[in-house]
Structure 1
C-alpha cells in the first residue's frame, strides 16, 4: 500500500493535507555564508505559522551534508502537528568540499538507499525522497553521477526524485537522462524551480512528459520572476496539467523566514493561495496543494532489492 515516508513514520497519502512541496527548515552551505538555517525555535515558529493557516505537510529538500538536522525534525513535527518529509540525495558539487565528495565515491546509491530505508545517520529518521541537482542549461559530470545514483535508489525503493533546476533551466536534459537513459518513470520525478525560468514552451513540454512541476517561489533570494509564477501556473492548469503542479516556498536563508525579513512558509497560504484561487478557483488550487503532493511523494515501500517502476 502506498504511503508517504515522514520523519514520524509512513502515513497514508490522504493524511498529508495542504502541502508545502518544497521548503527548508534547516540548511547550511558555504554558498550562503552567514545565512544558515540552524535555529530550532525559528523552525518551530515557521511550522506553527504554517499550521495556523491550515498547512499540513512540509517537504524539506535539504540533502546529505547540508545541515538537515534530522534528529530535530521528529520533535518539531510532533510539537506543531505538521508532517515533515526529509530528503536524502546530493546537491551541486559547489556545496561540498572534496573530502566529503571523495568519501561518497563508489557508494552514493548505497547511501541514498540506506537513508531511505534504515535512517539518516544515527537519528533513525528515514528520508522520503531523493534530491539531486542539475546545472545551468545542462548537466555536468557531478550531476550525472548523482542522478545515476538517484535512479539506482529509485529502482531499489520506489522513492521519488526531486531535482533542483539551476535558475529553472535544464529540464529537457534532466528528463532525457533520468527518464530516458536511466529509465525512471516520469511520474516519479519532481522538477523544481520552474518559476525561475518562466518559459511557457519548456513548461508545456515537461508537463507533457508526465513529471511533476514544482513552482517553489517566492523566495527573497530568487524573487526576480515571482510575479510571473501565478501566470505560469494558470497557463498550465488551463492547458489541462493541473494534476502535475506543486507549490512550495523554498526558504533557503535565515533572512527569508517570516521571523526575518522575508515571506517565509506562511506566505504560501496567506498570500499566494488566495491569488491563485481568484484565477483558478478553489477546487483546482486544492488539487495542487493537497492531491498532487499526496500522489507525487507516495510510494509503495518494499524491501531493498525489489525492482520498482
Structure 2
C-alpha cells in the first residue's frame, strides 16, 4: 500500500492535512552549542500551536545522531493530533565526532534500512524517509558516501531521499549523483533550502528533473531571501511546476519557536500562506500544503 510512514503508523497520503514539510521538534549538534531543541514541553506547545492554526502534519528532518528523541514522538503526535514523520539518514560530517563517523563507515545503508523497516533504536518508531546533506556548491567525500548509502536504502525500501542543500546550493551535483549515477528516480528526491539560493535557472532545472523542491521558510535573517520567495513560487507555478513544491518552517533553535517569540511552525500558516496566496492564489497554495506532501512522502513500502 502506498502510504506516508508516520510515527504512529502508515497513513494514506491524503490524510496529512496542512503539512509543514521540513521542520524540527528536536535537534542537537556539537557545531551548534547552545541552540539545541531538547524540551519536550516546548515541542508539544509548538505542535499544539500549529494544530490550532489548522496544521495537520510535520515532517521532522532530524537524522541519526542529532537528538531525534524518536521515543517521544508518538506521544507528542497523539497528544496534539498532528501527524509526525521521522527521519533516518546522516547530516554533514561536521555534526558528528570522528568516533561516530568511523563506527558508521560501511554500515550506513543497513542502518537506514533498519530504521525505515524495523525502528529507530529501541523506540519501535519507524522512520518515514532518509535525510542526507550536500556541501556549499560541492559534494565532499562524506556527502557522496552518505548519498550512496541512501540510494542503496532507497532501492531496498522505496523510501524517498530528502537533501539538505547548504545555503541552497549544489542541486545539479546532487541530481547528477543520486538520479543519474545511483538511479534514484527524481520524484523520490526532495531538495531542501532552495529558497536560500534564489536562482530561477537552478529552480527551473530542478523542477524539470522531476524532483520536489522544498522552500523552507523563514530563512535566517542574514540570508535576505524570504522577500524573493513569492516571485520564485509564482514563476514555478506559472511554468506548470506547482505540483513539485513543498513548504516548511525549518525551526532549528529554541528562539525560533513561535511559543518563544520566533516565527516557528505557525509562521507557515499565519504569514507565509496568505503572502503566497497573493502571488499565486489561495487554491494553489493549499494544494502545495496538502496534496504535494502526500505525493512526495508516500511510498509503496517494500
Say yes or no: TM over 0.5. yes
Q: Do structure 1's residue 33 and structure 2's residue 10 form an aligned pair?
A: no
1:150 & 1:228 partners in 2: Cα distance? Answer: 32
Q: What is the rounded CA distance, in whole Å, between the counterparts of 1:233 and 1:44 in structure 2?
A: 31
1:293 equivalent to 2:287? Answer: no
Does residue 106 (structure 1) correspond to residue 106 (structure 2)? The answer is yes
The unaligned stretches of length 5 or more in structure 1 are: 303-309
Q: Which residue of 2 aligns with 1:307?
A: none
Larger displacement relative to structure 2 (84-93 or 275-284): 275-284
CA offset at residue 221 of structure 1? Answer: 5.9
Shift of 1:223: 4.5
Other-structure match for 2:137:
137
Name 1:265's counterpart in structure 2. Answer: 265
Secondary structure at the aligned position of 2:109 is classed as helix
Q: 1:45 to 1:4 in 2, by over 3 A?
A: same
Map of 1:43 onto structure 2: 43
Q: Is the 8 A contact 2:117 2:126 kept in 1?
A: yes
Q: Given the superposition, is the C-alpha separation of residues 222 and 209 from structure 1 closer, same or farther in structure 2, using an over 3 Å criterion?
A: farther
Residue of structure 2 in register with 1:240 after alignment: 240
Which is worse superposed, 187-196 or 278-287? 278-287
Give yes or no for contact 2:219–2:225 (8 Å, CA) kept in 1: no
Task: Give the corresponding residue for 1:80.
Answer: 80
| Mapping 1:216-227, distance limit 5 Å | 216-220=216-220, 223-227=223-227
Superposed displacement of residue 235, structure 1: 1.1
Distance in 2 (CA, whole Å) between partners of 1:98 and 1:232 is 39
Q: Distance in 2 between matches of 1:76 and 1:223?
A: 32
Q: Compute the RMSD of aligned alpha carbons.
A: 0.9
The structural deviation recorded for 1:239 is 1.1
Contact 1:132 1:161 in 2 (8 A): yes
Q: Is the 8 A contact 2:196 2:219 kept in 1?
A: no
2:186 aligned residue: 186
The alpha-carbon deviation at position 220 of structure 1 amounts to 3.8
Q: Counterparts in 2 of 1:3-82, with a 5 A limit?
A: 3-82=3-82
Cα separation, 1, equivalents of 2:30 and 2:45: 25
Shift of 1:259: 2.1
Give 1:225 deviation, angstroms: 1.0
Q: 1:62 to 1:269 in 2, by over 3 A?
A: same
The SS at the match of 2:239 is helix
Give the CA deviation at 1:34.
0.4
Number of equivalences: 302
- Rounded Cα–Cα distance in structure 2 between residues aligned with 1:229 and 1:90: 28
* 1:207 CA drift (Å): 0.5
Give the aligned partner of residue 204 of structure 2.
204
Seen in structure 2, the aligned counterparts of structure 1 residues 221 and 250 have a Cα distance that, compared at 3 Å, is farther
- Find the aligned partners of 1:204 and 1:282 in 2 and give their Cα distance: 22
- Go from structure 1 to structure 2 and tell me whether the alpha carbon gap of 1:7 and 1:221 turns closer, same or farther (over 3 Å shift): farther
